[in-house]
C-alpha cells in the first residue's frame, strides 16, 4: 500500500473508505512516493511535488503550504536524505488532516437562518453529484437540507437534481427549464426560512470565468441570497477535475516563466 507510507492508520480501517482510496493510492500518491526515490534533493523535486499535489485535488493553498513547509524543514534541519524529506512531508500532511478533522464541523449560526452553499464550476465536472454528496454529509450530522435547482439552462439538470432529492429524501425547489435562476434562488431562500432548514445547497449552470455575462449572473444570485441572509452564501464550492486543475497549474507556470523571461 503506497499511501500507508504517508498515512499510518491508528485504528481499524474503514473497508469502504479503503476501497475508495485504492485508485488514489496507485495513482498520484504512488507518483509522489516514487518522486523521493532519488539520490539527492533538488529544486525540481519541489516543482514536481507541487504539480502532483494539485493534480491530486489537494488544492492550491494546501499544496503551497505543504511544499513550503517541506522546503523550510529541509533547509532548517539540513536534511540531505530524500527518505527523511518524505517522512517530513508525511508528518505535515497528518498535521493538516488532524487540524481539518478538529475544525470540520459546520457552524450553524442560529436556527431558521440557513447555511447557504453555492456550487459553481464549468460544464461536466460533476456539480450535481457533488451536491448530493454534500447533502448526504450534512444529513449524517442530523441537519436538515434543501436543494435549489439554479441550473435552469442545461437539459435535464432539474430532473437530475430531483432524482437525487428523492434518493436522499431532501426537498428540491425548482422552476421550469429556462426560468430565471434568481427567481429559483429567491423561492428557495424563502422556503428554507419558512421550514427552518439548516443547510441550503444551490446548484448553478456550468460557466467559464471568461464569460462576463454568466459571471455577472452569479453576482446577481449572491445579491438575491443576501436579501434574506446578509452574509450568504457562506460557502462557494468550486467543482473541478484533476485534469483541469493540472491544466490551470501548467498555465500558471507558463505565464510565470514568460514573465521572468520578459523581466530578465
pLDDT in tens, 204-220: 876 665 666 667 777 78
The Cα–Cα gap between 30 and 133 comes to 26
> pLDDT class for 162, splitting at 50, 70, 90?
very high
pLDDT at 240 over 70: no
- CATH code of the region 115-242: 3.40.50.300
CA 218 to chain centre: 18
pLDDT at residue number 168: 93
> pLDDT class for 163, splitting at 50, 70, 90?
very high
Instruction: Please tell me which of 15-24, 60-69, 110-119, 123-132 the model is most confident about, judged by mean pLDDT.
Output: 60-69
In this structure, what C-alpha cell is assigned to residue 1? 500500500
Give per-residue pLDDT as tens, 44-53: 889 889 888 8
Percent of the chain residues past pLDDT 90, beyond the cut? 13
Strands 115-121 and 145-149: unpaired
What is the pTM for the complete model shown? 0.53
Superfamily of domain 3-102: SRP54, nucleotide-binding domain (1.20.120.140)
Q: Where along the chain do its domains lie?
A: 3-102, 115-242
Average pLDDT of every residue of the chain: 76
pLDDT at 202 over 60: yes
> Rounded to 5 degrees, what are φ and ψ at 238?
-95, 115
pLDDT at residue number 208: 60
pLDDT at residue number 243: 52
Amino acid at each position: 500500500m503506497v499511501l500507508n507510507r504517508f498515512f499510518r492508520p491508528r485504528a481499524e480501517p474503514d473497508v469502504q473508505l479503503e476501497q475508495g482510496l485504492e485508485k488514489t493510492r496507485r495513482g498520484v500518491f504512488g507518483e509522489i512516493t516514487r518522486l523521493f526515490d532519488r539520490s539527492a534533493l533538488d529544486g525540481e523535486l519541489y516543482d514536481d511535488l507541487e504539480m502532483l499535489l494539485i493534480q491530486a485535488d489537494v488544492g492550491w493553498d494546501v499544496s503551497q503550504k505543504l511544499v513550503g513547509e517541506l522546503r523550510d524543514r529541509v533547509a532548517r534541519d539540513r536534511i540531505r536524505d530524500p527518505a527523511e524529506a518524505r517522512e517530513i512531508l508525511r508528518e505535515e500532511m497528518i498535521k493538516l488532516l488532524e487540524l481539518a478533522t478538529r475544525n470540520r464541523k459546520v457552524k450553524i449560526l442560529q436556527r431558521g437562518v440557513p447555511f447557504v452553499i453555492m456550487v459553481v464550476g464549468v460544464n461536466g465536472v460533476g456539480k450535481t453529484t457533488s451536491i448530493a454528496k454534500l447533502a448526504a454529509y450534512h444529513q449524517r450530522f442530523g441537519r436538515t437540507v434543501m436543494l435549489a435547482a439554479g441550473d435552469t439552462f442545461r437539459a435535464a439538470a432539474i430532473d437530475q437534481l430531483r432524482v437525487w432529492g428523492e434518493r436522499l429524501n431532501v426537498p428540491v425547489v425548482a422552476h421550469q427549464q429556462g426560468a430565471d435562476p434568481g427567481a429559483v434562488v429567491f423561492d428557495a431562500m424563502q422556503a428554507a426560512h419558512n421550514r427552518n432548514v439548516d443547510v441550503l445547497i444551490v446548484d448553478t449552470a456550468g460557466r467559464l470565468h471568461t464569460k462576463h455575462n454568466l459571471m455577472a449572473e452569479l453576482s446577481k444570485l449572491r445579491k438575491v441570497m443576501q436579501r434574506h441572509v446578509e452574509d450568504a452564501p457562506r460557502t462557494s464550492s468550486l467543482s473541478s477535475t484533476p485534469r483541469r486543475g493540472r491544466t490551470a497549474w501548467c498555465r500558471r507556470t507558463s505565464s510565470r516563466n514568460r514573465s521572468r523571461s520578459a523581466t530578465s
